[in-house]
Structure 1
């Protein structure tokens, strides 16, 4: 993302994106919340990718180079913040409660946010943000070339069910070495990373209107019920709620 743009102010605004449209890499001097009330938004940084459906918002700290990509027709709500009420210094996905969702939609829709009513709404909105739990779908990027080769194989085909020994033969590394690299380079185990990758792709496909059974198969889950179970435990909702 070396060609990123510098936009000093993080805007508070609404933006409509067509399916597969995006916002090129840029960074702000201010913090920002990004929320999709419709569709699914993915945020790419130099080290990771996050994806956020309607039950998640993304916190992007000041100075973070990032790009957006929409899956399905997407309505984005941006909230710029000069302060850091969340005390978070890395991009993070946050749970969006029904109340927080309505506050994000209403506040970003205001024509004048400096009225007494607008200031009160902002205060309640910030209170809700500070109590939101962290529940990411995050796919960190590998820096080690052997690990990056294995990750690329699974990116191409998330349904690939081979273990690390088999994948490592194509990348020139043993299963033991790759197990260590997943922990050291990505901060998670191989099964955890693969689950995050599969959920990332599943959310993209669901946003495109693919049936749950098709998504489960294309993302490597043994059965549709296994997919629904992992999805619910990870995101708190069933895949059908995203269709």
Structure 2
């Protein structure tokens, strides 16, 4: 069993991770905000995984065992908040939309030493106010709990471009499509096309963080054409994959989308 570090106080700091770098499994008694000012960060918990480029931040509630991984060169901004301070009222991990102002507040707050000076406290108060207004993004890739779905999950994560039907995949793992569909509905609340699209989009974010060309990303993630991939990506994230800001430079094209993923997942 993997040992989990316990660091009671969640740090507030900025640190750099090389592409592929990791922070091992750990937990805090505090809440934590995780933001990648450059690169893309993924956070994994027992409940699932989240991937966030520079238009997103991750909310990690107190006590949640989690680990980080860098995709692309990563400037990681961490904000620790006491367990009694929960501006979002969330008790589960979540992805939040980050606009230009909130980005600058998080970066400024994590670059300066923590103190109780009036300017620092004012900066913190404004940052928390902006967090309250940050739309939550339904970008979690849920972790399956049943053995059959875990086996199916491993197949699709190993090759997101696998276009076999659920019936064909079921024959490989010894289960019928109806049985797998029922498990997906009961365990994850998703249809097979919705779940597969989630897996593909998460993998696409990782590839884009490594500056993989959009056409190559579309092919590796199983879309029939780059235009189809771009359409699904735009509906999901509010901007095209070619305009994913991996260095924190926002533009009108890369404003966070506050919409639902339901339509995108049906394709």
Same fold by TM-score, threshold 0.5 exceeded? Answer: yes
How many residue pairs match? The answer is: 243
Give, in angstroms, the shift of residue 71 of structure 1.
0.5
Match of 1:91 in 2: 93
What do you get for the CA RMSD once the two structures are aligned? 1.2
Q: Is 1:145 aligned to residue 147 of structure 2?
A: yes
Instruction: Point out where structure 1 has 5 or more consecutive residues left out of the alignment.
Output: none
C-alpha separation between the residues in 1 aligned to 2:190 and 2:102?
30
1:35 counterpart SS class: strand
Unaligned runs of 5+ in 2: 247-267
Counterparts of 1:147-226 in structure 2, within 5 Å, are: 147-226=149-228
Q: How does 1:129-140 map to 2 (within 5 A)?
A: 129-140=131-142
Q: Contact 1:137/1:199 (CA < 8 Å) preserved in 2? A: no
Higher RCO (CA < 8 A, seq sep 6+): 2
Deviations 1:48-104 (A, max 9, x none): 011100001000000000000000100000011111111101100001011111111
TM-superposed CA distance for 1:109, in Å, is: 1.0
Residue aligning to 1:25: 25
Does the 8 Å contact 2:12/2:114 carry over to 1?
no
Which piece of structure 1 moves more, 170-179 or 136-145? Answer: 136-145
Deviation at 1:112, TM superposition (A): 4.6
- Residue 107 of structure 1 contacts residue 113 of structure 1 at CA under 8 Å; is this kept in 2? no
TM-score in terms of structure 2 length: 0.88
* Counterpart for residue 118 of structure 1: 120
Q: What is the CA–CA distance in structure 2 between the aligned matches of 1:54 and 1:178, rounded to whole Å?
A: 35
Alignment match, 2:7: 7
- Which position in structure 1 is the counterpart of 2:105? 103
